Structure formats: C-alpha cells, structure tokens
Structure 1
Amino acid sequence: MKNKETEFVDKKMIKPRSSRSIAMGAAFLMAMAAVGPGFLTQTATFTGQMGANFGFAILICIVVDFIVQMNVWRIIVVSGKRAQVIANEVLPGLGYVLSFLVAVGGLLFNIGNIGGAGLGLNVLFGISPENGAVIAACIAIAVFVAKNAMTVMDHTVQVLAVVKIAILIYIICVMSVPYKAAVTHTFMPTDINFYSIVTIVGGTVGGYISFSGGHRLIEGGMKGEKELKYVNEGAITGIGVASLIRILLFLAGLAVVTMGYKLDPANPAASIFKYAAGNFGYKFFGILLFAAGMTSTLGSTFTSISFLNYTEKAAAQEKIAKYNRLFVISFIVISAVIFYFVGQPAKILVVVGAINGFILPVALAILLIAARKKKIIGSYHHPWILSLTGWLVVLFMLYASVEAVIKLIH
C-alpha cells in the first residue's frame, strides 16, 4: 500500500493527495454517515415522544461519538490494519464475526438510506419513493465506479454536508426555538429513555459508522504514529460537523413539538419542515433527505464492503480491487431491491439503529484490547484517558442496551 493515496487514470499516476486532504475526506464521510436518514428519522421520532428531554440523549450521543471515534481512528491508523484484521489478531475468527455483524447491520441500514434518498426525490419531484430509490442507487453506483472514486466520493460528501447545514440553519432561523427548555432538560432531564439513547447512539456511531472514517484513512494509505496529528484533526472535524447537525435538527424538531403539532409517524422528519415553513420548508426537507440518503449510502457501502477485505500485501490488494466494484454494485442493488419490495424506511431506520447500538460495545472493546497488544500496535502507547473513557462507553452501552431490552419486553 502506498504512503499516500494515489489515483490512477488510464494507468497514468497523478499527484498523490496529502494526509490532511485524506483526513478531511474521512471526517466528512464519517460525519455524514452519522447524520443520514436514520438520524433524521430517529431524532424526529424521539423528539416528538420526549420533547426537550431528548436533548440528554443527543448530549450522550456527542460525548460517546468523541470517545469512540478518537479511539477507533487512532488504533486503526497506528496499526495500519482494518478493524476485522485487528479483531482476528486479538482472537482468531473474531474478525469474521465482526465483519458479519457490521456488514449485515450496514446492509439493513443501507435499505433505509436508499429509501431515504428515494423519499427525498418523492418530495421534490412527486415520483414514487421506490422509483426514487432506483435513481439514487444509480447515482451512488456512478460515484463508486468513477476512475477516481475515492476523490469523487469525498467531494460529493463534502458538498452535501454544506447543503444539510445550510437548510437546517434556515429552518432554525424561521422558527421560535425554546432554547431555555432545551438547555435545561439536556443537562437535567426529567425522563431518561434508554431505548432512545441506544437507538440514537447506534444510529450515529454504532455498527459500520464507527469504522467509516478509520477505514477511509487506511484506504488512503495513512499508517503509523506519524499520522496522528492528521488523525486527530480529521476526527475532531468530523465529530464537530456531525454534532452541529444533530443539535440543529433537535432544536428544529423541539420548536415544532412545543407549538403543539403532532408529527406524522410515517415520515416524522418531514413533518418538522412542513410545519416550520409550509410547502417551501417541505421542499427543503426533500433536498435534505436526499442529501442525507446519498451521503449515508456512500458511507455505508464503502465501509461495509471494506470489511470483506482481509488482505495486507500490496499484490493481494490489487487482486481484491478488481472485485471491489462488483461487491459495491451488488451491495447497492440488493439494498434498492429490498426497499423497492418491502418499503417502510422509517421503521427500518429506528430498529436498525438499536441493533447497531448493541454492536458498538463489542466492536469498541475489541479495539481497546488490541491497543494493549504490541504485536498489533508496536511501541505506540494509547492514551490512558482514551482507554478509560472507551471502557466506560463499553460498560454504559452494555447497560443501556440491557435496560432498553427490559423496557421493550415489559
């Protein structure tokens, strides 16, 4: 693997990208994967049910996001290996289990991502969500089969991120947001719903999302302690962008709920924008949902397929690359076909978010164990504060997951 990502066009090598450029690409890929249709749907659903108290779940989500991403990105880049390879070195066969969990969760989430993009096109142009999903799938495939696919993906995600933030800022500006209630209940909630915490954390940093940024860095050729400066910059940027979007959407939803409106359970996020700015706001939501669906489709597909790659040698990587496009196309097509015949993306996105919440503590624990093995990370000393907070997240998410299951059973 080369030291820096290099694109090839007609077998001619062009200028390699810098570590900072690759890190920023990873930052936006992670951030936009974290705030896709799943997050839009989950946030709207729980804000409608819990009001300002849901701010506590958002706060926990941001804190967990920071701890998880800082741990995962650093361990993966220092080792220079993908998460599934690291897991196999921790315990033979464990990597295959992790790959299965992440890939299945990614596929289920991708059904919702494709469906979300299709719903966005439905809002904008009136075409059926199913046909919209087919169009979205074709666009995603076109991005991945481009000759400089990684660069195209990075730039596409960054542009769509700006679109998301601009639309949400507009909605906040035209609404009467109860900021005092939001801040008060965020830090002093009167009701804590563990299912909402597990779901929102799982939907924004669980499953494949935990590894999207780290695997993007590996794909770009970043490896070793010398890259940690850029790893930190990328992780903090991605977390900051994702957190901003989370807060803006929560405030928009809270403003609508506080005014007494009831959100449509079939498409709760759309209700927020429709109530906030009428048909104009509803069209804005269509753009936002399409952007969210596309960015998450790219992130989910890239990361899930990366878990099928266990090779480390350059020669073997070239062989894998020949089949990569086939895997990518198949992954997207299967997601689109399932959505076309099954539908119900809102329900899928909430349920799969909870599933990813269960996967998170397992995946993070594997990497934290790896961070103490010299055969994996060499002489690198993982910061004790990251290890400590990482294990606290593992324990908290295990506890929250159990509490969520108990509450659902009863």
Structure 2
Amino acid sequence: MKKEQQNAGLPKSRRNKLHAAAIGGAFLMAMSAVGPGFLTQTATFTSQMGANFGFAILVCILVDIIVQLNIWRIIVVAGKRAQVIANEVFPGLGYLLSALVAIGGLFFNIGNIGGAGLGLNVLFGISPQNGAIIVAAFAIIVLIIKNALTAVDRTVQVLAVIKIAILLYILWVMKVPYATAVQHSFVPTKVDFYSIVTIVGGTVGGYISFAGGHRLLEGGARGQQDIKYVNEGALTGIGLASVIRIMLFLAGLAVIVAGYKLDPANPAASIFKVAAGDFGYKFFGLLLLASGLSSILGSTFTSVSFLDYAISAKEDTHFEKYRRMLIMAFIVFSTAIFYFIGQPAKVLVVVGTLNGFILPIALAMLLLAARRKDIIGTTYRHPRWLSITGWLVVLFMAFASVEAAIKLF
C-alpha cells in the first residue's frame, strides 16, 4: 500500500517540477527578451520611424513564435543542450555555436549591467559604475546559492510584475494613438530591414532563443512525452514578452505623436520623463533596473549553459564544479568592461544586429537535427508547419541580416 502511494505520488511531483520549469523558462526567456537592449532599441527606432516601427514589432512577435516553438521542442525531445545537438549534426558545429552565443551573451551582458547600474543612478544618485558593481554582486549571489534555479525564477517573476505595472501606468497617463499604431503595424508606409534585424536579433536571437529550452532541461524535461511543457512554457513566455514589447512601443509612439523629441543620448528615459515628469523618470530608473537585472540572470545562465557538453549525469556533476566559477567570471568580466569603457547603449544596438546573424544559423542547425532519428528518436515527427515556417524564418533572417549589414557597414 505504501509503495503504491509513493508511486502514485511520483508522477504528480514530476508534473509539478516540470510545470515550475516551464513557467521558469517562460519568464527567463521573456524577461531576457525585453531587457535594456530592447528599451533602447524600441525607443530609438520609434523616434525614427514612428508608427511604422509597429510592423517590426509584429514581425518580431511572429518570428518569436516560430523560433521558440521550434527550438524549445527540438532541445527537449532530443534531451540535450543545443551545442551538443549541433556537434551531432556536424562535428565541431557545437563549438562554433557556443562561441557565437557566449560572445554575444557576454557583450549583451555589458549592456545589461550598464543598464541596471544606470537604473540605480536614476533612483538613488549612485554612479552608474558603482551601481553596476552592486547589481553584479546581487546577480552572482542569486545564481550561485543553493536552489539557484528557484531563486532565479522567483526574482525574474517579481521583476516582470514591476515592468508591467510601470508600463501600464505610463500608458494610462498618456494619450495613445491606438488606431494609427494598428494601421501602420499591418500596412506600413516604410519597411526598414535594419530595425527588423536589430529588434529580432536583440529579442529573439543569440542566447535568448535557447534560454527557455535550456531551463526546461535543467528542470528535468526530456523526450517526446514532455512536449506539453514546451508548449506551456514557450507560449506563456512569448505572450508575456509580446505584451511588454507592444506596451513600450505604444508608450514611445504616444510621446512622438504628441510632438516631443526623444533625447538621442537616452531615448528610453525621454519617454518616461515626458509622460510623467520627474516621477516618470524615477519609474524609468526602476524599469531599467528590473530590465537589466532580469537580463543579467538570463544572459549569464544561458551563456554558461553553452559551455556544458555533458551528456550523462556523471559528466554533468563534473561540470557543476566549474559552473560557479564560470558564472562569477562571466559577470565580473562584463562589469569590468562597463566600469572602464562604458557606452552600453551603442553596444546593445550593434550586438542586437550581430545576434540577427546567429539566429538563422542556430535555427537551421536545429531544423536539420529534427530530421535525424539518431538525435531525436525514431518515433518523433516534427510538425510540418513548424519545419516550413522555421525554414522561412531562416531565409528571411539571412536576407534581412545581409541587408542590415550593408546599411551598418
């Protein structure tokens, strides 16, 4: 009887664990996707393009759905991290992917730490450099303590609530041109590939594409039977990130339509200052702090996970010895670069564009893996609509990235 009760209890505990991992992955991905880079990019492009930038936001959401559902599903069904899968598709490809993702994540982290430091500067008058050190220390503690994954999940969820509450307030006090935004989002009068690649690369490309899938693996999701949690996590994260993207775009558009000019040096701050004066500026500081901190956690967790090539429990335990040191080194190096060099806003926009190049490479690699029975098993069939739309995204992002590079260089 006791044994039966234990066996009956195990599936429920596993379901609870996987549900927690799915929601944790959703928030980790979503909050990484709407960090300081997204604040800067959205404010910059909204000031340049007005309502037409809504089309880039719409493309970003559609690409996000296709990319996240493909990548999360393939990683979980294979039961392996993306870099391990890449090496099985073509020997050595995983190491290239790890280098691209880790380097991109590292540079994004410089902007994330700088953004969070600027947030503390706005709130309390602390210098951005000293603020960055405080935030970096807090992030290290969250990531290396016992039950770190739970701590990361809870921290990111609280930060998400803060973000949404602040944006709701800004939209409430501003006169938002909803009709104009909808019209130009679906029928733009101007399409700018540079803005599309930058916003997609900064919110879907690079490490962000893999944050949720790798979080699900850490939570124990493995195999075809856990696809339910892939859908739950991916769709929750996409929905949350999309709501925040749209809200920030509408806030910026309301300021532009009202006839105000955004400060090129800090366009995102201008939105909040115009909307609610000094009070709004303090809100911006809190939003920047929340965005920076959540993205630091997501960037560090995912980038470090790309250095782990373990394919067995024993190997994974061996890697755990180095995980804490890698986490500390990753954050300390990013903080040092910001402290002595600075200019995170420029870094975020350029790295967002470069991440646009990583996306088609990474997605194409996983789509090839989805057709390999030795990688994903003999019984799994990847949905045709995901394969077709996935390859369309690969082609579109490859083309758009080349167009953006021509404009950038």
**Superposed pair shares fold, TM > 0.5:** yes
Aligned-pair distance for 1:138?
0.5
The residue type paired with residue 370 of structure 1 is A
Q: How does 1:225-236 map to 2 (within 5 A)?
A: 225-236=224-235
Match of 2:262 in 1: 263
Match of 1:359 in 2: 358
Match of 1:321 in 2: 320
Determine whether 1:382 maps to 2:382.
yes
Determine whether 1:65 maps to 2:64.
yes
The residue type paired with residue 351 of structure 2 is V
Report the Cα distance in structure 1 between the residues aligned to 2:210 and 2:268, rounded to whole angstroms: 26
Secondary structure of 1:74's aligned partner? helix
Match of 1:394 in 2: 394
Q: How does 1:331-342 map to 2 (within 5 A)?
A: 331-342=330-341
Q: How does 1:136-151 map to 2 (within 5 A)?
A: 136-151=135-150
Match of 2:403 in 1: 403
Deviations 1:186-210 (A, max 9, x none): 0010111100000000000000000
Report the Cα distance in structure 1 between the residues aligned to 2:15 and 2:310, rounded to whole angstroms: 22
Aligned-pair distance for 1:17?
5.1
Q: For the Cα contact (< 8 Å) 2:79–2:222, is it kept in 1? A: yes
Report the Cα distance in structure 2 between the residues aligned to 1:126 and 1:156, rounded to whole angstroms: 24
Report the Cα distance in structure 2 between the residues aligned to 1:375 and 1:225, rounded to whole angstroms: 14
Report the Cα distance in structure 2 between the residues aligned to 1:290 and 1:307, rounded to whole angstroms: 26
Match of 1:11 in 2: none
Secondary structure of 1:156's aligned partner? helix
Higher alpha-carbon deviation: 237-246 or 260-269: 260-269
Deviations 1:5-28 (A, max 9, x none): xxxxxxxxx999521111000000
The residue type paired with residue 21 of structure 2 is I
The residue type paired with residue 339 of structure 2 is Y
Aligned-pair distance for 1:281?
0.4
Q: For the Cα contact (< 8 Å) 2:113–2:335, is it kept in 1? A: yes
Deviations 1:261-293 (A, max 9, x none): 111122111110000000000001111000000
Report the Cα distance in structure 1 between the residues aligned to 2:162 and 2:17, rounded to whole angstroms: 25
Report the Cα distance in structure 1 between the residues aligned to 2:302 and 2:408, rounded to whole angstroms: 30
Aligned-pair distance for 1:345?
1.0
Match of 2:26 in 1: 27
Secondary structure of 1:368's aligned partner? helix
Report the Cα distance in structure 1 between the residues aligned to 2:122 and 2:408, rounded to whole angstroms: 33
Match of 1:169 in 2: 168
The residue type paired with residue 46 of structure 1 is F
The residue type paired with residue 200 of structure 1 is I
Match of 2:3 in 1: none
Q: For the Cα contact (< 8 Å) 2:17–2:219, is it kept in 1? A: no
Report the Cα distance in structure 1 between the residues aligned to 2:137 and 2:256, rounded to whole angstroms: 36
Match of 2:51 in 1: 52
The residue type paired with residue 245 of structure 1 is I
Q: How does 1:103-252 map to 2 (within 5 A)?
A: 103-252=102-251
Report the Cα distance in structure 1 between the residues aligned to 2:250 and 2:219, rounded to whole angstroms: 36
Aligned-pair distance for 1:145?
1.6
The residue type paired with residue 40 of structure 1 is L
Report the Cα distance in structure 1 between the residues aligned to 2:271 and 2:341, rounded to whole angstroms: 25
Match of 1:76 in 2: 75
The residue type paired with residue 383 of structure 1 is P
Secondary structure of 1:167's aligned partner? helix
Aligned-pair distance for 1:403?
1.3
Report the Cα distance in structure 2 between the residues aligned to 1:268 and 1:140, rounded to whole angstroms: 26
Aligned-pair distance for 1:319?
1.1
Aligned-pair distance for 1:364?
0.3
Q: Alpha carbon RMSD of aligned pairs, Å? A: 1.1
The residue type paired with residue 186 of structure 1 is S
Secondary structure of 2:392's aligned partner? helix
Report the Cα distance in structure 2 between the residues aligned to 1:315 and 1:397, rounded to whole angstroms: 39
Report the Cα distance in structure 1 between the residues aligned to 2:371 and 2:14, rounded to whole angstroms: 37
Secondary structure of 1:18's aligned partner? helix
Aligned-pair distance for 1:117?
0.3
Secondary structure of 2:307's aligned partner? coil
Runs of 4+ in 1 over 6 A off after TM superposition: none
Secondary structure of 1:107's aligned partner? helix
Determine whether 1:283 maps to 2:282.
yes
Report the Cα distance in structure 2 between the residues aligned to 1:380 and 1:219, rounded to whole angstroms: 22
Report the Cα distance in structure 2 between the residues aligned to 1:17 and 1:385, rounded to whole angstroms: 30
Aligned-pair distance for 1:407?
2.7
Report the Cα distance in structure 1 between the residues aligned to 2:146 and 2:14, rounded to whole angstroms: 14
Report the Cα distance in structure 2 between the residues aligned to 1:407 and 1:25, rounded to whole angstroms: 38
Report the Cα distance in structure 2 between the residues aligned to 1:194 and 1:205, rounded to whole angstroms: 16
Report the Cα distance in structure 2 between the residues aligned to 1:132 and 1:360, rounded to whole angstroms: 32
Report the Cα distance in structure 1 between the residues aligned to 2:14 and 2:323, rounded to whole angstroms: 23
Report the Cα distance in structure 1 between the residues aligned to 2:399 and 2:137, rounded to whole angstroms: 41
TM-score, length basis structure 1: 0.95
**Structure 2 unaligned runs (5+)?**
1-12
Report the Cα distance in structure 1 between the residues aligned to 2:385 and 2:14, rounded to whole angstroms: 38
Report the Cα distance in structure 1 between the residues aligned to 2:319 and 2:406, rounded to whole angstroms: 43
Report the Cα distance in structure 2 between the residues aligned to 1:16 and 1:377, rounded to whole angstroms: 22
